Amino acid sequence: PYTWPLLRRTGIVHCCANGHLDNQFRFTVGPILVSIVLSAMAWTPTAVILFCVWTFIECTETQVVCTFSEDCVLQCSFKAAGEEVIQWTFTHKEDPVHTYYHDADHLEHQDQRFKGRTSLFNDLIRAGNASLRLRNSNIQDIGRYHCYISNNNGEQNSWVNVEVHAPIQSVGIEMMGDEVNCSSQGIYPAPRVSWITDPPTQSDMLKDSTQTSADPRGLYSVQSRVRILDNISDHTYVCSVTSADGTQEWTTSLRQQEINSVNDGSAIIPCIALRTFNLHNFTLTWTFIRANKSEVILTFDSLTKQTVGHGTSQAKVDPDQVLSGNGSLWLQNTAQAGTYTCSFSAFQIQHLVHTHVKLTPARKKESGGNRSRLGVILAVIAVLVLLIAGMMIMYARRR
């Protein structure tokens, strides 16, 4: 079919013709099928003036959002009548996306971008289903698709506008030098990033620098950073990444602190969830990092209310306190210098607390046995001193 600009429903159509014209032909105007029947004609080698009888048939147009790298179905239905011809085409492309006739697929002239990625529901065609399955959706699939049906009932046209979204999968946050960095990858369309702190700060103090870039697949990565305010442990930094259509928002927050602990193996490491954290269906995880090696200490599941220890039974949390947002860790005889990380994690939200633990030497306590031995030694020394002094006095008198 010919695709022409939108025209008024009555009037004269001018077109260029380089070859033979049949007495009847068709062209598509937006979502309307226009049949033109030639009733009179005057033409030159370069132009044809058509006096037309207009017949308008409204056509359907739908929207579909596909998920990047997943299969997607473009709906198209019709009234079955036998001898079906089905052709799917893509906007401004000459080669078809998928062609079906004589009860079989015919893909000899298929657009190369769709090779091996399309199929019809062949067992449902006789029931009036001409829907197209598009495998491994990608950004280049975005556009307008035309579903053309011809059978013993006549012809039918419908259009499907396809969008492809790559949803946010995760958001990372970390402190590097005097900045807090927030990042996410593999998103389409490009997302938005916003920052707040707890306790709140004035917006002009929390200035962010955000960079967005696309990879060869067309997916976006976003990196945003803010400078640390005042003392590093004064604020919790909260980064939110929101999808372009506003249907997704992932939030991650980070607090960093230091504590000094006496080197006797025992310590309590505080971890309090943000007030905005939804304390339903979450997981608390404690990890220990030293010399760039990370090991899980324990995990707590809010649904089962069970704590699973990893490697030591001397690390504990209070389940009732955890359910109220207090995930503080009690270490008995196992505290080490290094970084302890507390993570409250739920769907699309995470709160992290990094605690750097420094150990100070404990004072040595003298036991009762040591004091007894010290007393004996001092007594012996005193006796020896007295004996030596007595002998020296006697020697002096004899002289």
Q: Give kind and range of the element (H or E) at residue 315.
A: strand 315-316
Confidence of residue 361 (pLDDT cuts 50, 70, 90): confident
Confidence of residue 11 (pLDDT cuts 50, 70, 90): very low
Residue 337: per-residue pLDDT: 83
Contact 353, 255 (CB under 8 A): yes
Percent of the chain with pLDDT over 90: 60
**Distance in angstroms (rounded) separating the CA atoms of residues 109 and 94:** 10
Q: Is the pLDDT of residue 380 over 50?
A: yes
Q: Is the pLDDT of residue 371 over 90?
A: no
Phi and psi at residue 224, to the nearest 5°: -135, 145
Its pTM stands at 0.74
Token digits of residue 58: 């409204």
**Distance in angstroms (rounded) separating the CA atoms of residues 78 and 95:** 23
Q: Give kind and range of the element (H or E) at residue 339.
A: strand 338-346
Contact 267, 359 (CB under 8 A): no
**Distance in angstroms (rounded) separating the CA atoms of residues 68 and 185:** 13
**Distance in angstroms (rounded) separating the CA atoms of residues 363 and 217:** 62
pLDDT digits 0-9 by tens, 77-131: 999 988 999 999 998 888 999 999 999 999 999 999 999 999 999 999 999 999 9
pLDDT digits 0-9 by tens, 337-352: 889 999 999 999 999 9
Contact 89, 2 (CB under 8 A): no
3 state SS of 285: strand
Token digits of residue 340: 């302890």
In sign, the C-alpha dihedral spanning 276, 278, 279, 284 is: negative
Within its chain, how far is the Cα of 320 from the centroid?
A: 31
Average confidence (pLDDT) over 264-290: 90
> What are the chain's domains?
2-58 (no CATH), 60-165 (2.60.40.10), 168-247 (2.60.40.10), 253-362 (2.60.40.10)
Query: Which range among 14-18, 176-180, 221-225, 255-259 shows the weakest confidence by mean pLDDT?
Result: 14-18
Contact 156, 141 (CB under 8 A): no
Beta strands across the sheet bearing 154-165: 60-67, 154-165, 143-151, 85-90, 98-101, 104-105
Token digits of residue 234: 């004064």
Residue 290: per-residue pLDDT: 80
pLDDT digits 0-9 by tens, 117-160: 999 999 999 999 999 999 999 999 999 999 999 999 999 999 99
Phi and psi at residue 375, to the nearest 5°: -65, -40
Whole-number average pLDDT of the chain: 82
Q: Is the pLDDT of residue 396 over 70?
A: no
How many residues does this entry show for the chain?
399
What pairing do the DSSP bridges indicate for beta strands 349-360 and 85-90? unpaired
